[in-house]
Amino acid sequence: MELDRIFDSLLTIVGSPHLVGLIILAVPIGMFFGAIPGLGGKLGIVLLIPFVFGMDALSGAVFLLAMHAVVHTGGSIPSILFGVPGTGPDAATIVDGYPMTQKGEAGRALGASLGASGFGGVVGGLFLAAMLPVLRPLVLAFSPAEFFLLALLGITFIATLSGDSLLKGLLVGMFGLMLAFVSLDPFTGVPRFTFGQLFLWDGVDVITAVLGLFAIPEMISLGVKGGSIAQVRKEAATYNLREVIEGIFDVFRHWALSIRTALIGAVIGTIPGLGGDAASWICYGHAVQSSKDPSRFGKGAVEGVIAPETANNSKEGGSLLPTLFFGVPGSSGMAIMLGAFVMLGIQPGPMIALTGMDLVWSLIWTLMIANVLAVFMFLACAPAFGKLTYVRGGLLIPFVITLAFLGAFLSHAAWENIVLLCGLGVLGYFLKKYRWPRPPFVIGLVLGPIAENSLHKALAIWGPSFFLRPLSLIFIALIFGSIGVYFWRVRKNGAPQVRYDT
Amino acid sequence: MILNGRILTTTVMLAIFAGMSAMALTYPEKARFLPLLISIPATLMCLAQLVFDIRSALQDGPAEETAEAALERPREIKMFLWLAVFFVAIMSFGFLIAAPVLVIAFLRFGEKEPWMTAILGGLGAWVILYGVFTWLLELFLFEGFITRLLIG
């Protein structure tokens, strides 16, 4: 009977020109919102809500979800081509995507990102379907203790991402952690490191920080060195459709990594409060750590594009789980989606398991269809985007800098973010110039607040004994395992010769 | 020259960590616990990095500036000046006015592009900023402090 329901939902969508048309319309809109720094999926949902007024619940939900599902597919485009992340979670894609572009492999990087996004989206949908029976105990098993240890596990990846300079990597990661403490202290309400500035009370905006530390230094560097982003001759580079398809095949060549990171992303998406930034960086760290030759990372390893991109899209399937079944949004984007669902007359909560499974299955299919459709719709455009990287840098610099300024402002509608952007941009340039690895910064910035909030909550609830909870012990074992693997590798192969120049 | 850019960068990082440690000491116990847990070891590690950098500079001696580095310096200064111009202009006149003018100025005077290319670039920037962000998405773009004063 359940199989009937599952396939009836699929037939409802593909048999309805209206719903198919809405998905076809939503996919490029979602990719546009992802590709423009500072816009992102949340703003996309907010701006599209007026357009779904008057639609029936299914059509409205399908339209909004299809748009939101492919935001990160679009977000990878500026990350790979210009080193400018479209959204926060896309920052991890820069680390290897941008060096691939510099090597003249923009087409392959875009293909890998497309394939990984589509694959991740489908796995996310399948994960959502598979988890329906065991959903409740899984979500309820995660308490602040596990949040803290999961964040700590992510922070241990700082060492892995430090490349050939562990000390500098740790310091940049700690700098990210310190910036994460800039805000009102969540427990005492005391403003910390805010210098009396109201805009810092909510913390340092991740998009502004990432644009400052990555986009601005790249543009200054491009202006200093001259030439184009791609550092090879145009004739020697490959940016045709074949190269893009080659990138898509890379996802299947690294099938084990793709499946692992898609599942990790989906699981992280299930856990409310961890967010997409954590998913992409944890998966990137996992890719480096599990690689036989970590020295290729940071120089344009295709696995470094696949891992964060699969996670970015698979987490959307995961985050739909608590949103629909508990009314607890799995991410900030899903929080707005939750409001839109309620506005459309869909009442998320446990009752949906009894009365709304048709809708749930339709949404699962929407996730998968939108992700696959995004791959095909974007496939033809990718080679043309690849050619952009051969445009002389001087022509691109003013547009990218304007876009970075715009992204910083739009992320919180605060002009003060532009000041922060410039400050971090100058610092980021010198960090880049003197080979301080920058990726650990984002891990610290993203996971710092999660770690701090969860630690205080866990200590308040259980005291130090929270370390002895069964799930905590598993995470502690994973943390020690992760550190152990790093030192075992250093002992076996010497310090990894990775240089994160991006 | 012992005091090079590498040492200065490490010194700036050291100053940031040391300054944040000092500030954290003034907060209540619960609020300062984690910041101090990170910033004090970071300060010590940064000091170690500084020692490594200075030792390395002393060992290498006063190296001759390479031709590439000498060529890069004026370009670096030029790019930082342009970043400052972008910052001041956008803060003063906002995105809709400053961004197209900056694109034209950068292309014409910074990159020596023909006037036609520069004007087309500026026009394109304005069309995207106004057409997509203001008209289509109805987003508020920062109008700049001087524009705000003039408009009232």
Enter the ipTM.
0.93
Distance between alpha carbon A388 and the CA centroid of its chain, in Å? 24
Give the pLDDT band of residue A236 (cuts 50, 70, 90). very low
Nearest CA in chain B to A226: B75
DSSP assigned state of A186:
T
Q: Is residue A500 part of a domain?
A: no
Q: For the residues A377-406, what does the mean pLDDT come to? A: 76
Beta bridge partners of A392: A228
Give the pLDDT band of residue A8 (cuts 50, 70, 90). confident
Cβ contact (<8 Å) for B31 and A192?
Answer: yes
pLDDT over threshold 60, residue A373? yes
Cβ contact (<8 Å) for A216 and B83?
Answer: yes
Report the pLDDT value the prediction gives residue A81, as an integer from 0 to 100: 82
Give the pLDDT band of residue A84 (cuts 50, 70, 90). confident
Q: Is residue A117 part of a domain?
A: yes
Give the pLDDT band of residue A424 (cuts 50, 70, 90). very high
Rounded Cα–Cα distance for residues B19 and B32 (Å): 14
CB of A204 closer than 8 Å to CB of A420: yes
If one compares B6 and A340, the residue with the highest pLDDT of the two is: B6
> Which residues from A are below 8 Å from B39, CB to CB?
174, 178
Q: How far is A313 from chain B (nearest CA, A)?
A: 25
Cβ contact (<8 Å) for A402 and B141?
Answer: no
> Which residues from B are below 8 Å from A223, CB to CB?
75, 78-79, 82
Q: Is residue A328 part of a domain?
A: yes
Cβ contact (<8 Å) for B79 and A223?
Answer: yes
Q: Is residue A498 part of a domain?
A: no
**Is the CB of residue B81 less than 8 Å away from at least one CB of chain A?**
no
Token pair 């940031």 is at which residue? B16
Cβ contact (<8 Å) for A418 and B142?
Answer: yes
Q: Is residue A110 part of a domain?
A: yes
Cβ contact (<8 Å) for A170 and B45?
Answer: yes
If one compares A391 and A498, the residue with the highest pLDDT of the two is: A391
Q: What is the DSSP string of A32-44?
A: HHHHSTTTHHHHH
Q: For the residues A82-103, what does the mean pLDDT come to? A: 81
CB of A408 closer than 8 Å to CB of A420: yes
**Token pair for residue A112?**
């890998």
**Is the CB of residue B42 less than 8 Å away from at least one CB of chain A?**
yes
Q: Which residue type is seen at B131?
A: G
Between chain A and chain B, how many beta carbons pairs sit less than 8 Å apart?
147
Beta bridge partners of A304: none
Number of helices (H), then strands (E), belonging to chain B: the values are 5, 0
**At CA A246, angle to CA A277 and CA A440, rounded to 5?**
25
Element (H, E) at A113: helix A106-131
> Which residues from A are below 8 Å from B101, CB to CB?
none
Which domain covers residue A150, as residue numbers? 2-493
Residue A348: partners with Cβ closer than 8 Å, 6 or more residues away: A323, A324, A325, A326, A327, A338, A341, A342
CB of A450 closer than 8 Å to CB of A147: yes
Q: Is residue A35 part of a domain?
A: yes
The 10s digit of each residue's pLDDT in A431-451 is 988 888 887 887 788 778 878
Q: How far is B77 from chain A (nearest CA, A)?
A: 9
DSSP assigned state of B130:
I
Average pLDDT, chain A: 81
Q: For the residues A218-224, what does the mean pLDDT come to? A: 86
From residue A233, give the alpha-carbon distance in Å to each of A21, A66, A179, A244: 42, 39, 40, 19
**Token pair for residue B147?**
């524009």
pLDDT over threshold 80, residue A154? no
The 10s digit of each residue's pLDDT in A97-118 is 888 888 888 888 988 998 998 8
Question: In terms of DSSP bridges, do strands A183-184 and A191-192 run parallel, antiparallel, or are they unpaired?
Answer: antiparallel
Residue A358: partners with Cβ closer than 8 Å, 6 or more residues away: A5, A8, A9, A12
What sign results for the dihedral spanned by CA atoms A337, A342, A347, A349? positive
Q: Please give the tally of structural domains in chain A.
A: 1
Rounded Cα–Cα distance for residues A264 and B90 (Å): 42
Q: How far is B101 from chain A (nearest CA, A)?
A: 10
**Is the CB of residue B97 less than 8 Å away from at least one CB of chain A?**
no
Residues A237/A73/A437/A169 CA torsion (nearest 10 deg): -150
Residue A272: partners with Cβ closer than 8 Å, 6 or more residues away: A139, A319, A322, A328, A329, A330, A331
Q: How far is B50 from chain A (nearest CA, A)?
A: 11
Token pair 């800098």 is at which residue? A401
pLDDT over threshold 60, residue A141? yes
Report the pLDDT value the prediction gives residue A146, as an integer from 0 to 100: 81
Cβ contact (<8 Å) for B107 and A185?
Answer: no
Cβ contact (<8 Å) for A178 and B45?
Answer: no
Long-range contacts of A448-451 (CB under 8 A, 24+ apart): A448/A176, A448/A177, A448/A179, A448/A180, A448/A181, A449/A180, A449/A183, A449/A203, A450/A147, A450/A148, A450/A151, A450/A273, A450/A274, A450/A275, A450/A278, A451/A148, A451/A151, A451/A152, A451/A155, A451/B34
pLDDT over threshold 50, residue B33? yes
Rounded Cα–Cα distance for residues A5 and A43 (Å): 33
**Is the CB of residue B100 less than 8 Å away from at least one CB of chain A?**
no
Instruction: Dump strand ranges (E) for A138-210.
Output: 183-184, 191-192
**Token pair for residue B27?**
């907060």
pLDDT over threshold 80, residue A162? no
Q: Is residue A39 part of a domain?
A: yes
Give the pLDDT band of residue A37 (cuts 50, 70, 90). low
Q: How far is A201 from chain B (nearest CA, A)?
A: 14
How much is the pTM?
0.75
DSSP assigned state of B137:
S
From residue A153, give the alpha-carbon distance in Å to each of A271, A425, A451, A475: 15, 28, 10, 7
pLDDT over threshold 60, residue A239? no
Q: What share of chain A is helix, strand, coil (3-state, %, to 5)?
A: 80, 0, 20
Rounded Cα–Cα distance for residues A173 and A443 (Å): 7
> Left if phi > 0, otherwise alpha if psi is -120 to 50, otherwise beta: which for A427?
alpha
Residues A50/A65/A265/A121 CA torsion (nearest 10 deg): -140
Report the pLDDT value the prediction gives residue A137, as an integer from 0 to 100: 67
Q: How far is B6 from chain A (nearest CA, A)?
A: 6
Cβ contact (<8 Å) for A430 and B9?
Answer: yes
Q: What is the 3-state secondary structure (H, E, C) of A217-261?
A: HHHHHHHHHCCECCCCCHHHCCCCHHHHHHHHHHHHHCHHHHHHH
The 10s digit of each residue's pLDDT in B35-65 is 998 999 999 999 999 999 998 888 876 656 6
Rounded Cα–Cα distance for residues A232 and B42 (Å): 39
Q: How far is B124 from chain A (nearest CA, A)?
A: 10
Cβ contact (<8 Å) for B20 and A193?
Answer: yes
Report the pLDDT value the prediction gives residue A296, as an integer from 0 to 100: 83
Rounded Cα–Cα distance for residues A285 and A261 (Å): 10
Nearest to A409 among B6, B102, B142 (CB): B142
Listed by start position, the domains of chain B span 1-63, 67-152
**Token pair for residue A79?**
């990350």
**Token pair for residue A441?**
């910064």
**Token pair for residue B2?**
């012992």
> Which residues from B are below 8 Å from A185, CB to CB?
27-28, 30-31
pLDDT over threshold 90, residue A132? no
> Which residues from A are below 8 Å from B131, CB to CB?
none
Q: Is residue A202 part of a domain?
A: yes
